Amino acid sequence: MEAYIVYPTKEQESAIEAFFEAFDVSFDKKSDGKLPDHVLKGIAESEAEFDAGLTISMEEFKKNFRTIK
């Protein structure tokens, strides 16, 4: 059996629960109210990079991604 960890918004939460119930998928709901520290750190780093102008266009990203493969 696979396990999925999701972080829905309040708007998404009821839809996800309805989906699980409709397909009879068992699930556990934990409401600690906080994202993991590594996620918060990554968000802060990305926001700082954006504020510093360290961005690229989607076209440039796609071009760079294709050369990695």
- For residue 1, tell me if it sits in a domain: no
Nearest CA-CA partner of 27 in 8, 53, 51: 8
**Domain containing residue 35:** 10-68
- For residue 45, tell me if it sits in a domain: yes
- For residue 2, tell me if it sits in a domain: no
- For residue 40, tell me if it sits in a domain: yes
pLDDT of residue 18: 95
What is the number of structural domains in the chain? 1
- For residue 33, tell me if it sits in a domain: yes
User: Token digits for 50?
Assistant: 């954006």
Q: Are 56 and 62 in contact (CB under 8 A)?
A: no
- For residue 4, tell me if it sits in a domain: no
Whole-angstrom CA distances from 19 to 10, 12, 37, 45, 60 are 15, 11, 29, 34, 37
Taking only the tens of pLDDT, the chain with its 69 residues reads: 788 888 899 899 999 999 999 999 999 888 777 888 999 999 999 999 999 999 999 999 998 888 776
* Residue 69 CA to its chain's centroid (Å): 23
Cα(13)–Cα(30) distance, integer angstroms: 12
